[in-house]
Amino acid sequence: MDGATNREGGGGSPHDRTMDAPVAVLVAVLEDIAAAAKQGIVDIRNEIRELRSATDRHLDATNQRIDALRDALKDALERGFRTMFGALITAVAGLAALMAKGFHWL
């Protein structure tokens, strides 16, 4: 016999009607658990999006600082090269003058 016949009072075990209430409670509890799990997943996704946005902002700021440091280092190296090249030219010119004086070219 099917459940509809049992609920209407015809045939079947008397325990069939008593099982409807606990099953309905169980279904309600499972629906609540599923809704809570779904909301939890939505919350986790939102937190991940927020973390991703924060990480992107921090990476952008870090990249800007790295670019600034790279530019400063490039400028410092360029100044250092110019200073060393100037010192080399001065030393060569001084040595040439000293040799010219030593060999009585001047």
64 confidence band (pLDDT: 50, 70, 90)? very high
pLDDT at position 2, please?
47
pLDDT at residue 26 is higher than 70: yes
Q: How far is CA 44 from CA 11, 51, 56, in A?
A: 51, 10, 18
What does DSSP assign to residue 2? Answer: -
pLDDT at residue 81 is higher than 60: yes
Average pLDDT, stretch 49-55? 97
Would you list the domain boundaries of the chain?
Answer: 15-102
46 confidence band (pLDDT: 50, 70, 90)? very high
